[in-house]
Amino acid sequence: MYPERVETYKEVNLGGVLAGLFHRQGQYLVRYFDRQMTKEGYDYLGENLRIKGDAGNYSDMTIAEEDLPEAVKRLQKVVEKSDNTEKKSDESKPNADFLPPWARP
């Protein structure tokens, strides 16, 4: 019998990266990637993404590095919708310079 195959991947801090990209506090942005926060009215954006942790301990929440571009894309839609509702400037667009080269548009 073969041993179970273990998937390995590099993880990055979700709140820290999102805060840098969207110029907002990471503790609020990670709530969209914690399924439990749907009870508080947040849309769940983490489907099929490799995320560990929860918004209650947001500073330890991580995401697989390969999944980060998809997470940013999903969150950008929510932030833009929110900004359009609030009539804000276009600060919601992620700062591409902050993204690693492989994740830049």
What confidence tens digit (pLDDT) does each residue in 13-54 have?
999 999 999 999 999 999 999 999 999 999 999 999 999 999
52 belongs to a structural domain: yes
| Token pair in block for residue 49 | 């993404």
- Assigned domain for 22 exists: yes
Indicate whether 49 belongs to any domain. Answer: yes
Q: How far apart are CA 51 and CA 24, in angstroms?
A: 20
Question: Which segments of the chain does DSSP mark as H helices, in order?
Answer: 14-22, 26-29, 68-86
Q: How many domains does the chain fold into?
A: 1
pTM over 0.85: no
Which domain, by its residues, includes 49?
A: 11-89
pLDDT for residue 59 is more than 80? yes
